[in-house]
Structure 1
Amino acid sequence: MTSLSATELLVLHAVRLKGFADDVAIAARFGLEVDLAAEFLLDSQAFGWVAWSEFAGSGGWSLTEAGRAENARQLAAELDQVGGRLAIQQAYAEFLPLNGRLQEACTQWQLRPTEDDALAFNDHTDADWDRRVVEELESLGQSLRGISHRVSAVLERLGGYDARFAAALRRVREGDGSWVDRTGADSCHTVWFELHEDLIATLGLTRGTH
């Protein structure tokens, strides 16, 4: 049976996954009430786990070093409590080679090498080139569906990545190619990057070393 995470964990973990976000965005990440999320954020601030800062007219929360350590502690305790470490490890092992393919697909979306320039910008005038990239993303989305279902069967908070990826890919197929890798939105790349962060955080790993 899938396990539900504590609200305190979800709020702090949402800050980690979003990196820098306000109350509304943090609450939305796991479908929490904004007032409830705001209350936990203020509690976390009092504990020194999160800090509020403003930049270019916008403000948001981010984790402190103490908050990152506390988030890691909570995630480890949760995973041990549900006895799901092996299942998540197996899913992560399956995810890693897919991650390499996703990175390559995004690179090919951004670049289309020519004889004169191996780093030539992809101006998206080659329909066949772009079609092959989208087909690769579709294949990755199908593989992601199985992984997402398995990890969400252990922890409900790990669910939904496949649906978010599919929604972004649908926008790409409808003609808006920015949804492959646009920032500040649930693009294919953003969703995938967040899942990677979620898996390594859940397993207590460090990005770039596994």
Structure 2
Amino acid sequence: MTNLSAPEDLALHGVRVLGFPTASRIAARYGLQVDTVQEALLDFEARGWVRQSSFAGSSGWSLTDTGRVENERRLADELDRTATRDTVTSVHAAFVPLNRRFGTACTDWQIRPMRFDPMAFNDHTDWRWDERVLRTLANVGRSFTELCSQLAECLARFDGYADRYSSALRKVDMGQRAWVDGHDRDSCHILWIQFHEDLLATLGIPRGSDT
């Protein structure tokens, strides 16, 4: 049985997972009304859980320290209420080694060691090197899809990660390389980071402690 998270919980959680998002971006990610998200964020701002700010011409929302604590409290309550903690814990355990493979692939996409420069930038002129990286991303993606499916079956908010990852890879296959690790779109790398943050927040695990 798939459990639906409360809209206000998704509004708060979306701020953490999406990283400096607008209300419309959170609404689009979770299929909510923009007005519902905006109203929740304004309420959270009054409580000191989120703040809105502008940076480099963009504006968005971010969590305060107390907002981060409240987010994790709500997620923990959701796990207990839906009896899904064991499933999420099991998926996280399977994700950890997969995350290492993905991290190595992303490094290889950005860096191609040369004889006299072990940190040489990958200029993507060696198609064999890039093809090997893309095969790894595809293989990792298949395992990633399985993990996402397990989570989405019990918590609906995890739905969407696998489809967007596959969509990004298809764009890469069409020659749009920025969809591997671009920071201005739902690239493979961005989606992976969001999913990882989602797991960490859900289980209350400090970032960097599960490597």
Give the TM-score category using the shorter length.
over 0.9
Q: 2:58 matched to which residue of 1? A: 58
Between the aligned partners of 2:56 and 2:115, the Cα distance in structure 1 is: 42
1:43 aligns with 2:37: no
Between the aligned partners of 1:146 and 1:58, the Cα distance in structure 2 is: 35
The correspondence of residues 188-203 of structure 1 with structure 2, limited to 5 A, is: 188-203=188-203
Deviations 1:150-183 (A, max 9, x none): 0111101011111111000001000011111000
Identify which range, 18-27 or 30-39, moves more after superposition: 18-27
Q: 2:88 matched to which residue of 1? A: 88
1:167 aligns with 2:159: no
Specify the SS of the correspondent of 1:206.
coil
The correspondence of residues 1-210 of structure 1 with structure 2, limited to 5 A, is: 1-210=1-210
The percent of aligned pairs where both chains have the same amino acid is 50
Once the two structures are TM-superposed, the CA of residue 124 in structure 1 deviates from its matched residue by 0.5
- Conserved 8 A contact 1:4-1:157: yes
Between the aligned partners of 2:23 and 2:2, the Cα distance in structure 1 is: 27
Identify which range, 113-122 or 53-62, moves more after superposition: 53-62
- Conserved 8 A contact 1:22-1:59: yes
- Conserved 8 A contact 1:19-1:63: no
Specify the SS of the correspondent of 2:122.
coil
Deviations 1:85-106 (A, max 9, x none): 1111111111000100111001
Specify the SS of the correspondent of 1:162.
helix
Once the two structures are TM-superposed, the CA of residue 24 in structure 1 deviates from its matched residue by 1.3
Structure 2 unaligned blocks of 5 or more:
none
TM-score, normalisation: structure 2: 0.97
The two structures, once aligned, show a CA RMSD in angstroms of 0.8
AA paired with 1:177?
A: R
Once the two structures are TM-superposed, the CA of residue 55 in structure 1 deviates from its matched residue by 1.8
AA paired with 1:206?
A: P
How many residues in Structure 1 have an aligned counterpart in Structure 2? 210
Once the two structures are TM-superposed, the CA of residue 57 in structure 1 deviates from its matched residue by 2.5
Between the aligned partners of 1:138 and 1:168, the Cα distance in structure 2 is: 11
Between the aligned partners of 2:180 and 2:58, the Cα distance in structure 1 is: 26
Between the aligned partners of 2:106 and 2:94, the Cα distance in structure 1 is: 19
Between the aligned partners of 1:14 and 1:139, the Cα distance in structure 2 is: 28
Identify which range, 10-19 or 50-59, moves more after superposition: 50-59
Structure 1 unaligned blocks of 5 or more:
none
Between the aligned partners of 1:143 and 1:58, the Cα distance in structure 2 is: 35
Between the aligned partners of 1:207 and 1:97, the Cα distance in structure 2 is: 15
Identify which range, 48-57 or 179-188, moves more after superposition: 48-57
